[in-house]
A and B are shown apart, each in its own frame.
Chain A
Amino acid sequence: AQRVTQPEKLLSVFKGAPVELKCNYSYSGSPELFWYVQYSRQRLQLLLRHISRESIKGFTADLNKGETSFHLKKPFAQEEDSAMYYCALLTTSGTYKYIFGTGTRLKVLA
């Protein structure tokens, strides 16, 4: 089954603390994974994708095929990072579609 799992609904951290938002996937094909972010009262937007191996706003995510994970990390959280984060899988074998995880709300406390 094709699935994306984000085990934490809510993650609260203090400003300056490290952050890790967990994402695990289930997919038999070659995965393409993304993190999307939704700030309060704004639309969903792409944060980063694994194929780019980029760092956006200090966030990084490494695809671990052995653990089928794509956790999102940031060494020092900022208050402006508070948002809803969604991990998504793009399936390209067979049907072309995006599968989203249930999302994790990150709250960065002052």
Chain B
Amino acid sequence: GAVVSQHPSRVICKSGTSVKIECRSLDFQATTMFWYRQFPKQSLMLMATSNEGSKATYEQGVEKDKFLINHASLTLSTLTVTSAHPEDSSFYICSAEVGTDTQYFGPGTRLTVL
């Protein structure tokens, strides 16, 4: 089946630093990739939708300058949390879509900002 990887799986950083999270579709080309944020015991909140070669579409309330998304190829999207602060600590999950309405999820990245 289709596999999506995320790297790193866990990261701890100091406040003010930037963190990059990679999302890769390992055995398929993804038309669209999604980035979600999940707070403890809460649902997934869509942050942005990205298509290869074009600018990401951010959801209302998500700062595009804070959460930089680059979708360089059909198999790679990156999320960079710039100048991270403790309130950015969360579980970030990406998904990749093949065609329409078939989403495959990555295992998630736990970000802790000290």
Contact = CB atoms under 8 A, between A and B. Distances in A.
Instruction: Give the bracket for the number of chain A residues in contact with chain B.
Output: 10 to 19
Interface string B73-114: 000000000000000000001010000011101111000000
A43 B59 contact: no
A98 B93 CA distance: 13
Instruction: Give the bracket for the number of chain B residues in contact with chain A.
Output: 20 to 34
A43 B101 contact: no
B49 A96 contact: yes
A86 B107 contact: no
Contacts of A98: 34, 46, 103
B23 to A, nearest CB: 12
B57 interface: yes
Interface in B1-44: 32, 34, 36, 42-44
Contacts of B42: 102-103
A97 B105 CA distance: 15
A45 B105 contact: yes
A101 to B, nearest CB: 6
A44 B93 contact: yes
The prevalent SS among residues of B at the interface is strand
A95 B57 CA distance: 9
Contacts of A96: 32, 49
Contacts of B57: 95
Given A97-B59, A98-B34, A102-B43, A46 B107 contact: no
Nearest to B34: A98
Contact of A100 (B32, B44, B107, B108): B44
Interface string A86-104: 1000100001111111110
Contacts of B59: 97
A97 B107 CA distance: 20
Interface in A59-110: 86, 90, 95-103
Interface of A: 32, 34, 43-46, 49, 51, 86, 90, 95-103
5 contacts: A43-B107, A49-B101, A95-B57, A96-B32, A98-B103
